[in-house]
Each structure stands twice: as structure tokens, then as C-alpha cells.
Amino acid sequence: MELKSSAFKAYDIRGKFPEEVNEELAYRIGRVFPTLFNAKRVAVGHDIRLSGPDIQKALELGLTEMGCEVVDIGQCGTEMIYFATAHLGLDGGIMITASHNPKEYNGLKLVRKEARPISGDTGLKDIEAKVMAGDLGTPAEVPAKVIEVDIMKDYIDHLLTYVDMSALKPLKIVVNSGNGAAGPAIDELEKRLPFNFVKVNNNPDGTFPNGVPNPLLMENREATAKVVREEKADLGVAFDGDFDRCFIFDENGDMIEGYYIVGFLAKAFLNKNPGAKIIYDPRLTWNTIELVEEAGGVPVMCKSGHAFIKDCMRKEDAVYGGEMSAHNYFKDFSFCDSGMITWLLVAELLCQAEGKMSEMLKERMERYPISGEINSTVADAKAVMAAIEEKYGSTGEVCKMDGFSVDYPEWRFNVRISNTEPVVRLNVETRGDKKLLEEKTAEVLAVIRG
């Protein structure tokens, strides 16, 4: 079976099955992983994609041939691999998932001890080199075993430590699992929580009968929003395929941008952890910085991308980190991202506030209106970045931590290149001026699109 290096991305391995991601690739990864990371015991699981079990079998064969015991946690979400790796004290974890990608895709996300991410800067390129060269090491004299472990109860117990159960009220919550991996975890949480769940597309189904589980797509949002409105629910929650991200809808069915959730959760964490550090990414910043400083915390900017955020959180010993892309990271969850912890904390805050979800964030959204991320496919992304820098580089406060950001007194923007495609991503925000937001967004887009 032919192998293609195109499956190796900046943070994970991902591509079409079986052209780019297949059993041979998984087997080889299983062979090289134990040697590169001195791994004796590794957690393995898969999401609901139809190719997942076959890829897992091949991966497990490679691992066990090298004398590495496999802890098989079965069908799960990515954050359950993170949890199992840390909770069971394992040497690594491998999740078979393509997250929010279409059904013909699959992939692998890898972590080492303590659920530390393995990305391009921390070993993924080494894996790629050995896999592509067929440098698979020498098998152990005695193959290791595969043991099946049900991690669900311990995982649910851990999730519930993040909320004050006595503060929770019988909210009506619409939960859309997108026929992804979130359904079983929601079913278990339902037994322990006072919420009235209205479940949409809750059954895991790798054929994705209701579309790819990517709530960011405009055409997918209405599936959650419609039920929120019809049920007169207090809150809506929609997950991507492997549920490491969740997307929040208010009682009107309006999806709340992940940017505002970062500041919302940061403030809540600082109420419990005075003076703590909070990590945020450079794409949108003003709302988060203001809320963190007002709450007595320390805002720390970090390059976007889960590997960078997790590393930065460890270095800074930050209690919480958030990206506008709806990835939220928690110190007590091995500094990893979790969609389940995110919505639980939002629900807790809603119970404590005794108001409506839209009211809780309305003032912040008006104070710092945003363009939303605007993607432009371009012929030459580097040339576009050069043109942006030439026009704006000497006119405001420049930051090149992640792409190109410029701050002015009343507005700011960030432009960055996609890691995986010829796309330039733009984010703009202003200080309460929606007209200025429209003008400046159009102005920068004109430079990007020529």
C-alpha cells in the first residue's frame, strides 16, 4: 500500500482514507512510536469513522510487535485519550480521528507522557522520516498484549470536578453531537446532572447521515439553532466529530464566537484563582486582555495552535488558555483542550448568573465587535503577507508572533497563512465601532484579494 507524506500536517496526521491514511501507515507509526518516545504502555482509541477499527488494529499490531502494551479504550473522543494517558500514567496516547473533516478522511493525533502533544516541532517530523524510509526498528522477542480498559466512569468523574454541583439548576440544554463521538459521554453526564437535555444527532454514526460534524460551517449551525428556538432552551451546545471543541448557542439560537467564551471563562477561573495567568492567541485580543486584567489576572499571549498553547501553559503554569477557534485548555486537564469541560463551565456560569445567555455576553460583544474569521484563497500567500506588511507595517503597533498583527487606538487586525492550504485568514476588531469594523475589514480584504 502506497504511503504519502502529505498526510503529515503541522500538528497531526490527517488525510483521505485509504489514499493518504491507511493500515500500512498506522502499522508503521506503531512500529516507530515506542522507540522514539521510549514508550512501554500506550493508550489507543478511535472516533466513529468507519475506517477507525481497521486502522486501530494495524496500529496496535505495530505497537505490540515492538513490545509496547496497548491500553485500548475503544470508541472515544480525543480528550478521552488525553485523560487516559495522564490518568493511567502511560507513556503516550494515539487517537484515530479526523475531527471535523468529511467522512472519507481519517487521521491520528499523538501525545507522549503526561499527554504532552507531539507535533512538527516535538517529534512528528521524526516519525514521518522513519515511516517514509521504512526504518521500523527491531521487533521485541515477545510481543506485548492489548488490554481493554473502560475509562468512561473515571473520565466523567473528573469532568464533574470542574463544576459546583450544588450551583447547577434544571436548565434546558440542546446538545447536538453531530453523530460524532460525543453522544455516549453526554448520555453518561445526563445521569449525573440536573439538566434537561434535548439531544440532536446523538447516536454515533460514521456515515454522517446529517452532514459532517463541523458546527463552524454556516449550513450546519441551523440544526442546533432551530431546536434551541423550538424548545425554548436556555443553551445550545454543538460538538465537532471528536468533541475536543464545543460551540455555544444562546437562547435565541445565535452561535457565540469562541473569542467571547475565552474572556468569559478566563474571568470565571480568576474568581477561583486570583492572580493566575491566562493564555490567549494573537488573532483577537482586546476583550480577553481587558477582562483578565480587570479580574486581577495576568494575560499572556501565545502563538495559536494546540501544541504552542499547551507548551506555553506549562511554561507559565497558566490555569486556563483559550483560542478564538473554540479550543479551550485547562491546567487540571493536563493542560489539554476539552469540549466537555468548556460547556459544563458555561452552564455553571449561566446557572449562577440567573440571567439569559445572550445577556451575559451582549455588553462584551458590543464593546469589542469582530469581523469573524474571513478566509481568502490566494495564488501567493507570501506575496499577500508582504503587501499587507508594506501597507500597514509602519502605521501602528506591529506583532509578528503569529502571522501579522497591527494595533491602532480604535481598531486592530491579524492576518495569517493557513498551515495546510493556500488560504489567508483575517480577523478584525474595534473598540465598539461597528461602522469602523466594516470599513477596515473591507480595506484589509481589498489588499488581500488584490
Annotation says 334 is catalytic? no
CA distance 121 to 229: 45
For residues 34 and 40, is the Cβ–Cβ distance under 8 A?
A: yes
Say what the pTM is.
Answer: 0.97
Would you state the pLDDT for residue 354? Answer: 81
Identify the DSSP state of 282.
T
In degrees and rounded to multiples of 5, residue 277 shows phi and psi of -90, 140
CA distance linking residue 194 with residue 348, whole number of Å:
11
The CATH superfamily holding the domain 258-337 is Alpha-D-Glucose-1,6-Bisphosphate, subunit A, domain 3 (3.40.120.10)
Query: Smallest Cα–Cα separation from 224: which of 182, 284, 170, 283?
Result: 182
Half-sphere exposure of 26 (CA within 13 A, CB side): 31
Amino acid letter for position 142:
V
CATH 3.30.310.50 in the chain, residues?
Answer: 369-449
| Tens of pLDDT, residues 343-396 | 999 999 999 998 999 999 999 999 999 999 999 999 999 999 999 999 999 999
Nearest one of 357, 343, 346, 351 to 194, comparing CA atoms: 351
Radius of gyration of the chain from its Cα atoms, rounded to whole angstroms: 22
Q: What is the pLDDT along the chain (450 residues), one digit of tens a residue?
A: 789 899 999 899 999 999 999 999 999 999 999 999 999 999 999 999 999 999 999 999 999 999 999 999 999 999 999 999 999 999 999 999 999 999 999 999 999 999 999 999 899 999 999 999 999 999 999 999 999 999 999 999 999 999 999 999 999 999 999 999 999 999 999 999 999 999 999 999 999 999 999 998 888 999 999 999 999 999 999 999 999 999 999 999 999 999 999 999 999 999 999 999 999 999 999 999 999 999 999 999 999 999 999 999 999 999 999 999 999 999 999 999 999 999 999 999 999 998 999 999 999 999 999 999 999 999 999 999 999 999 999 999 999 999 999 999 999 999 999 877 889 999 999 999 999 999 999 999 999 998
Domain with CATH 3.40.120.10 in the chain: 5-151, 170-254, 258-337
| CATH homologous superfamily, domain 5-151 | Alpha-D-Glucose-1,6-Bisphosphate, subunit A, domain 3 (3.40.120.10)
Annotated catalytic residue, options 99, 119, 177, 304: 99
Q: Which of 70, 75, 60 is nearest to 29 (CA)?
A: 60
Quickly count: other Cβ atoms within 10 Å of residue 74's Cβ.
17
Question: What is the predicted pLDDT for the residue at 421?
Answer: 80
DSSP letters, 135-201, are: ---PPPSS---EEE---HHHHHHHHGGGS-GGG----EEEEE-TTSTHHHHHHHHHTT---EEEEES
Give the Cα separation of 8 and 21 in Å (integer). 9
C-alpha cell at 323: 483560542
Q: What is the CATH number of domain 369-449?
A: 3.30.310.50
CB 105 within 8 A of CB 90: no
- CATH number attached to the domain at 170-254: 3.40.120.10
